[in-house]
Amino acid sequence: MDSLAIGIILGLLGPVAGFFAYGTIYVTAIKSQYDLHWFVNDLFIGTPPLRARVLSLSLIADALIFFALDRFHLYKSMRGVIAAMLAYAVVVIIFLF
């Protein structure tokens, strides 16, 4: 279980889950008149200035995965999560410009 590949996979899938978790919270608690389809298509894809912000918030899921792996002393997997976070950082920087 402690491998770089598993860490990268977890690190890439974590923000996807974080994105949908944030979207679900956003459309139920903040903007309850909208649905998740609106969040993805209109807010995220349709509003370029918000893409980097939403993606950055989605990366909180990677931090949770990172600390969970640390608790179980899975250091190689932690490195994979960091590598995935750096890849997402490049995407966030691209979205900023």
d(CA 73, CA 89): 25
d(CA 79, CA 31): 37
pTM of the model: 0.89
How high does pLDDT run on average in the chain? Answer: 95
* Conformation bin of residue 50: beta by default, left when phi > 0, alpha when psi is -120 to 50: alpha
- What is the reported pLDDT for 91? 94
Q: pLDDT category, 61, cuts 50, 70, 90?
A: very high
